[in-house]
Amino acid sequence: MQQESNSTRVPIKHFRTAALLSFAVATAYAQPGPVQMTLSGTAAASTISLRPGAPTSEYQLAGSGTLGKFDLRVVSVSIPSPQPPSTCSGPTKVYGAAVGGGGVFRFDNGDLLQVNLTGGSDCIDFAVGRALCIRVFQITGGTGRFDTASGNITLTMVVTPAVGDASNTPVLFTVTANIAGDVPRAGSQQGQQ
């Protein structure tokens, strides 16, 4: 009978400890955590109709942050609001309420994160020629590390006219923005920065 050397034999309690430690690390990565992301891009009227009689806006954005580099496509519809949001007041401002929409994040590693609009506001300031647009989203899942994701994020955008049509009505806008909220962190280092 061959004898095992003590140097190659690992007690079962070490395997249990390693397994528990691995589980704890995986659980920590899966917990929701605060995220900060910055992004920029463009906005324009969309051919998608989310609500009859109300124009849909489409945002093509790219950025990076807590969850890695990503592209974001958002569609949303706003209607005039009877009450201004707390972030909007003054005689040269027009305001609205975001009432429908959603979006999809696509991360560099191919993971997708889907969001559904739950609220938001628009504050157009004609005196300075820009708008503050806020979109609040609920995370509805995704693929890869976001397969069972849930949480809430807020997209805050400054939108400025960039290109006008023949009558000088703006048709293409620049967007600078940030996202804050709670999103489950990635289960691996891939895609994180």
Please report the sign of the dihedral spanned by the C-alpha atoms of residue 17, residue 19, residue 22, residue 26: negative
Whole-number pLDDT of residue 187: 42
Could you give the domains of the chain? 33-184 (2.40.480)
Tens-digit pLDDT profile for the chain (193 aa)? Answer: 555 445 445 444 443 433 333 333 333 334 457 889 999 999 999 999 999 989 999 999 999 998 899 999 999 999 988 777 777 877 778 889 999 999 999 999 999 999 999 999 999 998 889 999 999 999 999 999 998 888 999 999 999 999 988 998 898 999 999 999 987 644 443 444 3
Phi, psi of 17 (to 5 degrees): -60, -45
Q: What is the largest CA-CA distance in the chain?
A: 94
Whole-number pLDDT of residue 184: 61
Question: 134: which strand partners?
Answer: 121, 156
Whole-number pLDDT of residue 22: 36
Q: Cα 22–24–30 angle (5° rounding)?
A: 105
Whole-number pLDDT of residue 161: 94
Radius of gyration of the chain (CA): 23
Whole-number pLDDT of residue 3: 52
Closest listed residue to residue 86, CA positions, set 14, 24, 134: 134
Token duo for residue 8: 């190659």
Question: 61: which strand partners?
Answer: 41, 72
Cβ atoms 28, 187 nearer than 8 A? no
Question: How many Å from the N-terminal Cα to the C-terminal Cα in the chain?
Answer: 53
